[in-house]
Amino acid sequence: MTTVINTYIETPEPTREVVSLNLDDGDTYKSRKFKTIEAASISLNDDSDAAHNVTFTGDTATVNIAGASGANCTLTLYGNQR
């Protein structure tokens, strides 16, 4: 599945980007704001006990959610602006 952006949340902080997404295990998101992601977190918006994490390199974050298909999540990225 292609990552579906539900909401791109504009934040006044120059070092934070927040996006609400629907995605599958292993989907990626390329930052609109950062050249280099320095930290990331993922929260599941649905009532789920699925194991989840996010890894990142450069400006791309990869979300891992065990057994997920179309999971509704909030991804928060921290980094350096472009």
All structural domains of the chain with their residue ranges: 4-81
Q: Extract the tokens encoding 76.
A: 């928060």
The model's pTM is 0.86
Note whether 28 and 47 are within 8 A (CB).
no
Distance between CA atoms of residues 50 and 79, nearest Å: 27
State which fold the 4-81 domain adopts: Immunoglobulin-like (2.60.40)
SS3 32: coil
Q: What is the pLDDT along the chain (82 residues), one digit of tens a residue?
A: 557 777 888 888 899 999 999 988 999 999 999 999 999 999 998 877 888 999 999 999 999 998 778 888 999 999 987 6
Among residues 75, 77, 7, 74, which one has the least CA distance to residue 35? 77
